[in-house]
Amino acid sequence: MEGSVNLAAEDTPLIVDVRTAEEFVMGAYPGAVNIPLDDLEFRIEELGDKDRDVTLYCASGARSSYGQRILESSGFRNITNGSGVRVFRCLFNIRRSAPRQTGFQINERVSLLNFL
């Protein structure tokens, strides 16, 4: 398939951007792979082992949540919904303005704050 990425041979954690290709080229988490949600069920074999750690993200968290359900129903066991870049932009703005006063903690595995 043209444009597909063969990641199946790897076993490192994977970050998958399930936004459209157009959204992906506008900016993405470094090292993320773009598999649009509409293509995900047809490209599952590219993700490799079903025990692999996979984090999905999108713009708002809705598509990544749906993608998580698709992968879990296909037998994947270590899927995380990394939420959306809009959420992280909001948190980044809060953190940037008052990092010590907010007191919130962010899971490093799914945090996009280093990117934004």
CA torsion, ordered 104, 59, 57, 93, to nearest 10 deg: -20
Is residue 59, in this structure, part of any structural domain at all? yes
pLDDT at 9: 63
The pLDDT of residue 33 is above 70: yes
Is residue 92, in this structure, part of any structural domain at all? yes
Residue 58 annotated in active site: yes
- For the entire predicted model, the pTM comes to 0.71
Distance CA 19, CA 98 (A): 30
Catalytic residue of the set 58, 59, 91, 112: 58
Q: Where does the pLDDT of residue 6 fall: very low under 50, low under 70, confident under 90, or very high at 90 and above?
A: low
Domain CATH for 49:
3.40.250.10
How many independent structural domains does the chain possess? Answer: 1
